[in-house]
Amino acid sequence: MTLERVCDGDVAAEAFAAMLDIYHEAFSEGTRMPDAKLVELSNRGAAIIFVWKDGGEVLGFAIVAPFVHKGFVHLDYFAIKKDVRGIGRGSELLTALRAELATLFPDMQAMTLETVDDAEGSRIRFYQRQGAKRLRNVPYFFPAYGNHDPVPMEILLFPLNPSFIAKKPFVQDVISTLYTELHAKPENDPALQQLLKRLPNHVESE
């Protein structure tokens, strides 16, 4: 199993096409960034696309957005091919990804993730088994694409620095950066301002 980076501008690659197939199956239209936007972000270095391969077959992918100036890298999208889910491939991919990010960005404090749990609660438990911290008292809405309504989600943090502790200023920076730099919302966006206003002074994580 290998983790490979889809090089900037390499949008016609077979691996990229296979990644898009998994991407379209795994994410709903309202939470899925348009393909052209992914290409644009990758080409200017604002997003890094990794594919997880077994031989020549793409079994999964991860798309990360590094915010070096804020001390975190965001796991924007992550998915495993449908017919190989449930046999540990996701754990393997996350382990390889975190090792790669620690090498690429040694000064990063944490990897963040926007997610919504499934009915059984198994999705967030999966991420917690991989080392993620759940911010229990931090409200968050994903600013959906197109004409879709915002989606209630949670922000999870994967510490990349062993001494990292999530505190209000860091979480505030994460939310603001995701809205303004990743999702291209203005700083005075009403939803963003409401989230920042509701942010507790003490962040509880588990």
Q: Which domains does the chain have, with CATH numbers?
A: 2-197 (3.40.630.30)
**Mean pLDDT value across the chain:** 89
pTM: 0.89
At residue 68, φ and ψ (nearest 5 deg) are -60, -40
- Rounded CA separation 130/157 (Å): 11
Is 153:106 a contact under the CB 8 Å cutoff?
A: no
Strand, helix or coil for residue 169: helix
Q: How many residues does the chain have?
A: 206
pLDDT at 181: 92
pLDDT at 11: 44
Torsion of Cα atoms, 191 then 124 then 116 then 62, to 10°: 90
**CA proximity to 132, closest of 112, 161, 105:** 112
State the burial class of residue 75 (Cβ atoms within 10 Å of its Cβ: 0-12, 13-18, 19+): buried
State the burial class of residue 49 (Cβ atoms within 10 Å of its Cβ: 0-12, 13-18, 19+): buried
pLDDT at 63: 96
DSSP 30-55: GGSPPHHHHHHHHHTTS-EEEEEEET
- As a whole number, mean pLDDT of residues 6-31 equals 80
Q: How do residues 115-142 score in pLDDT, each as one tens digit?
A: 988 877 788 999 999 999 999 899 999 9
- Rounded CA separation 187/193 (Å): 8
Q: How many CA atoms lie within 13 A of 140 on its CB side?
A: 22
